Chain A
Amino acid sequence: MASSTEGAPQTVASDGKSNGVAVETPPTLQVSKRLEKFQTSIFTQTTGLAIKYQALNLGQGFPDFDGPDFIKEAAIEAIKTVGKNQYARGYGIPDLNRAIAARFKKDSGLDVDPETEVTVTTGCTEALSATMLGLLNPGDEVILFAPFFDVYEQLLAMVGATIKFVTLRPPDFSVPEKELREAFSSKTRAILVNTPHNPTGKVFSRKELELIASLCIKNNALAFTDEVYSKLIFRGEHISIATLDGMYERTVTMNSMAKTFSLTGWKVGWAIAPPQLSWGLRIAHSNLTFSTSTPLQWGAVAALQAPDAYYVDLAQNYKRRKDYLVENLSSIGFKVYEPHGTYFVMADHTPFGFDDDTAFVGHLIKNVGVAAIPPSGFYENASDGKHLVRFAFCKDDETLRKAVERMKIHLKPTSLKSTNDSAN
């Protein structure tokens, strides 16, 4: 990735008064205030370090193996077909909208209209950005669970929303009811729920979702859900909050091809929402990207027709990797918080004697040869995450085995005291 400058936007010296003649010095230019909170992403930084020190990358959340051939073949077929390299209908090719609706019906039991309630976007990222631009006003209050995928906070800042954080804590990362009730008010415009949850691997339970639902209904708030890991479940079941009573009419349910089909670079995602909400996000979407890549949408049509066996295999393969990593991280000395879903696992690195997650990950990359993500940047208060580290296991078996080996050899706990595992 091209390196980007860190910190606040730059201003350049004024070009002074001119008489209409071209001037040498650059003009005064001010980038928008909406950029004030952005810095180089932790993922970019970590990958940069990993490359520099030739570390095995268990940091960035994308697979080092590829998606299924039948999907790639469908996209290739589309590339070879006249017409399928041109603009798709803005909100999705009809076949894909129908396939998404059919899959959603199978998974959730809900009947949605592919024409008015399904919008295809450029990845789940764009579903989120379009939803926020189309449905949020500057100053709106939005509730966000910490730790959070950093893009959520940045997008909310970009649209000028005010964030109310509710922190999930080990060992269960369960939703703290009192804190959540306090965060909600009549001023709450929306709550963002990512389930299964990155970085903790938590799967929101029915009881937790019912609590959130009751508060949304009571306060007339919307729910925006990011469900990209919905097929990567090891324990419990994935529940879309949109299926709860009174919720469909106020929910935008988002998902994508990326994680389910190991094609994170294709950028085919979608948002399912009632017509009024879909209209808002479609307006934003049509002006952000106009439409999503046509041949890859055709690939997605094939993907969504995958038989149940595909999903069973997917979950089993990830579970196998999860079990392997969790067991080994434990034996190496981490206190591991076993994930119920996603391909991430959070672990407490305190036994290794580092002050915070950045220091620990620095050591892990440079001296052990393994990259992971320091998650303190995913919290409102960095201190809530400083003793944690996030590993990704969307890697092939050989990569995982080598990473475990390196940690076994080079990573030693500084004491035999067990970590304090009570909730903070």
Chain B
Amino acid sequence: MQGFDCQNVLSRRARSFKLSPIQQLSLLAQRCNAINLAEGFPDFPAPLHIKEAAVAAITADFNQYRHVQGVCEKVASAFEMAHGVKVDPATEVTLCCGQSEALAAAILAVVEANDEVVILEPAYDTYEACTILAGGKPVFVSLDPPFWSLDLKKLDAAIGPKTKAVIINSPHNPTGKVFSKVELADITNLCCKHGCLAITDEVYEHITFDDVKHVSLASFPGMKERTIVTSSLSKTFGVTGWRIGWAIAPSALTSAIQIIHTKLTDSAPAPFQEAALTALQSCPDFYKSLKQEYQFRRDYVCNFLNDFGFIVHFRPQGSFFVFVELPSEVRFDDIEYVMEAINTLGIAFVPGCAFFNKSGAEENLKFHVSTDLAKKGLQMPRNLKGSNDASENLVSNPYKHRYIRVAFCKDISTLQAAKLALRRQCK
């Protein structure tokens, strides 16, 4: 009996993937019981009124396949109120399993094999991954440190006849930057000039600080008809595990996204669609105190990071992450530092290189993580192929290995514990 030939079992798309550094480190951090300032979800309870709505939905038997059009209506009216853009809930909103699926469906709906998709770095790794899954080609444009400013010439040069879309994430993960009106107007001009689409990730739309306002790219003249906006309940309402998100797009694109979505998952979890009705009716005070709570945590964390020598180039204007540069006296690169922090400090961060493409990050990470996992009797999957020369990249782009992302969406006690651990080490 011939054995099964495993050589070519993965699809070509899947073969080009490497392990997600964020997920791998998170496993390691869990095993070491580290203080988790890595993952982007709260460790404090979700709002009571929303949980109660979900419980009520389950109890009232909202448990079969359903599409709750009311959620589309609320999403549409909230968008209009916030950004002044009229959205037709019947034809311009798709409910999805989280913003993750909304983005995947959007990309699968519009990206053809060999289409290019422009991604601004540093970037959340799924933008690149979804592009590849759709057969497209990611094209990276680096935002310039230390303020992650957008160089228009670079962006203009990166967009060409093969560009299907530009992905804009604002408020931005991992840097906490909120794209300004001027920047968005510039991006608008380029998209219109080149005739390409824009796909936005606005999941942190309600988490902004210091009176900075999140403005949606879709609200700029000429952009509504060429923009797919994606967002979700997850970050705003602290329910990252519910998987309720949406895409807002002109009707022809929405039809396409809707079709792809029904093939990918068929529908979003029914009881949480019901609960979304309640969530999306939250009063203005909810959003106000959301900002206040997170701003307090932002300041607390930025202060102690600063005290302990990390370089906080600017306080994040949005999201619940701060992207800090390692203290100059720290000789490690970001991955080594993060490993060390897990092992000796008991704190988990995310190495900044996880958000840069082709930085050799994966190769470095694979080595470090597999060594560490081996110590714990764990194994990495055998068929990972890394292809980049880490050392070459360090020389040409040293800053890509000097940052760590710190999440402050945590209970104050968690943040205090982290501060104490850092203080002990500094003594």
Known contacts being A2-B72, A295-B242, is A267 close to B268, with CB within 8 Å? yes
Q: Which of B77-85, B249-257, B317-325 participates in binding chain A?
A: B249-257
A residues 79-96 with Cβ under 8 Å of B?
A: 79-80, 82-88, 90
- Report yes or no: B133 in contact with A133, Cβ–Cβ below 8 A: yes
Report which residue of B10, B192, B258 has the largest number of chain A beta carbons within 10 angstroms of its beta carbon.
B10
- Report yes or no: B14 in contact with A129, Cβ–Cβ below 8 A: no
- Report yes or no: A154 in contact with B54, Cβ–Cβ below 8 A: no
Interface: A185 (CB within 8 A): no
Known contacts being A32-B109, A85-B242, is A22 close to B69, with CB within 8 Å? no
Q: B196 to chain A: closest CB distance in Å?
A: 8
- Report yes or no: B258 in contact with A2, Cβ–Cβ below 8 A: yes
Which of A31, A137, A264, A276 contacts B256, CB < 8 Å?
Answer: A31
Interface membership of chain A positions 126-150, coded 1 if the CB is closer than 8 angstroms to chain B and 0 otherwise: 1001000111111000000000000
Known contacts being A10-B252, A20-B192, is A35 close to B260, with CB within 8 Å? yes
- Report yes or no: A72 in contact with B23, Cβ–Cβ below 8 A: no
Interface: B226 (CB within 8 A): yes
- Report yes or no: A123 in contact with B101, Cβ–Cβ below 8 A: no
Number of residues on chain B facing chain A (CB within 8 A): 96
Which of B97, B243, B383 contacts A279, CB < 8 Å?
Answer: B383
- Report yes or no: A32 in contact with B11, Cβ–Cβ below 8 A: no
Interface membership of chain B positions 34-68, coded 1 if the CB is closer than 8 angstroms to chain A and 0 otherwise: 00000101111110000100110011011111110
- Report yes or no: B1 in contact with A245, Cβ–Cβ below 8 A: yes
Interface: B98 (CB within 8 A): yes
Interface: B110 (CB within 8 A): yes
Interface: A27 (CB within 8 A): yes
- Report yes or no: A35 in contact with B129, Cβ–Cβ below 8 A: no
Q: A265 to chain B: closest CB distance in Å?
A: 3
Q: Which of B269-277, B358-366, B367-375, B417-425 participates in binding chain A?
A: B269-277
- Report yes or no: A35 in contact with B109, Cβ–Cβ below 8 A: yes
Q: A242 to chain B: closest CB distance in Å?
A: 12
Known contacts being A2-B67, A134-B14, is A76 close to B59, with CB within 8 Å? yes
Interface: B331 (CB within 8 A): no
Interface: A51 (CB within 8 A): no
Interface membership of chain B positions 133-176, coded 1 if the CB is closer than 8 angstroms to chain A and 0 otherwise: 11100000000000000000000000000000000000000000
A29 cross-chain contacts in B, Cβ below 8 A? 110, 197, 226, 250, 252-253
- Report yes or no: B269 in contact with A293, Cβ–Cβ below 8 A: yes
Which of A12, A38, A291 contacts B243, CB < 8 Å?
Answer: A291
Q: How far is A364 from B269 in the complex, measured between Cα atoms in Å?
A: 32
A83 cross-chain contacts in B, Cβ below 8 A? 43
- Report yes or no: A32 in contact with B266, Cβ–Cβ below 8 A: no
B253 cross-chain contacts in A, Cβ below 8 A? 29, 31
Interface: A112 (CB within 8 A): no
A residues 354-400 with Cβ under 8 Å of B?
A: none
The closest CB in chain A to the CB of B12 belongs to A137
Q: How far is A125 from B265 in the complex, measured between Cα atoms in Å?
A: 5
- Report yes or no: A277 in contact with B263, Cβ–Cβ below 8 A: no
Interface: A15 (CB within 8 A): yes
Interface membership of chain A positions 22-38, coded 1 if the CB is closer than 8 angstroms to chain B and 0 otherwise: 11101111111111001
Known contacts being A2-B90, A18-B193, is A290 close to B266, with CB within 8 Å? no
Known contacts being A267-B266, A296-B269, is A32 close to B112, with CB within 8 Å? yes
Interface: A347 (CB within 8 A): no
A residues 151-209 with Cβ under 8 Å of B?
A: 151, 154-155, 158-159
Interface: B344 (CB within 8 A): no
Interface membership of chain A positions 103-124, coded 1 if the CB is closer than 8 angstroms to chain B and 0 otherwise: 0000000000000100000110
Q: B2 to chain A: closest CB distance in Å?
A: 7
Report which residue of B189, B255, B262, B264 has the largest number of chain A beta carbons within 10 angstroms of its beta carbon.
B264
Q: A33 to chain B: closest CB distance in Å?
A: 6
The closest CB in chain B to the CB of A80 belongs to B51
Interface: B353 (CB within 8 A): no
Interface: B241 (CB within 8 A): yes
Q: B85 to chain A: closest CB distance in Å?
A: 14
Which of B5, B43, B197, B383 contacts A82, CB < 8 Å?
Answer: B43
Known contacts being A4-B255, A85-B242, is A22 close to B14, with CB within 8 Å? no
The closest CB in chain B to the CB of A159 belongs to B11
Q: B427 to chain A: closest CB distance in Å?
A: 32
The closest CB in chain A to the CB of B111 belongs to A32
Interface: B377 (CB within 8 A): no
Which of B55, B222, B255, B262 contacts A22, CB < 8 Å?
Answer: B222
- Report yes or no: B252 in contact with A31, Cβ–Cβ below 8 A: yes
Interface: B181 (CB within 8 A): no
Q: Which of A59-67, A228-236, A321-329 participates in binding chain B?
A: A59-67
A residues 211-246 with Cβ under 8 Å of B?
A: 217, 220, 222, 245-246
- Report yes or no: B226 in contact with A263, Cβ–Cβ below 8 A: no
Interface: A9 (CB within 8 A): yes
Interface: B188 (CB within 8 A): yes
- 12 A-B contacts (beta carbon < 8 Å): A3-B90, A15-B222, A66-B61, A75-B271, A79-B55, A85-B46, A90-B23, A126-B264, A276-B9, A279-B10, A279-B383, A288-B104
Known A33-B112, A295-B54; further 20 A-B contacts with Cβ < 8 A: A4-B258, A15-B195, A26-B250, A27-B192, A38-B259, A63-B64, A72-B58, A76-B55, A76-B58, A87-B241, A126-B265, A134-B10, A262-B63, A265-B271, A276-B6, A279-B10, A288-B100, A288-B265, A289-B101, A294-B241
Residue numbers of A with Cβ under 8 A of B are 1-5, 9-10, 12, 14-15, 18, 20-24, 26-35, 38, 41, 60, 62-64, 66-67, 72, 75-76, 79-80, 82-88, 90, 116, 122-123, 125-126, 129, 133-138, 151, 154-155, 158-159, 217, 220, 222, 245-246, 249-250, 262-267, 275-277, 279-280, 283-284, 286-296
Residue numbers of B with Cβ under 8 A of A are 1-6, 9-14, 17, 20, 23, 39, 41-46, 51, 54-55, 58-59, 61-67, 69, 72, 90-91, 93, 97-98, 100-101, 104, 108-113, 126, 129-130, 133-135, 188-189, 192-193, 195, 197, 220-223, 225-226, 238-243, 250-253, 255-256, 258-260, 262-272, 381, 383
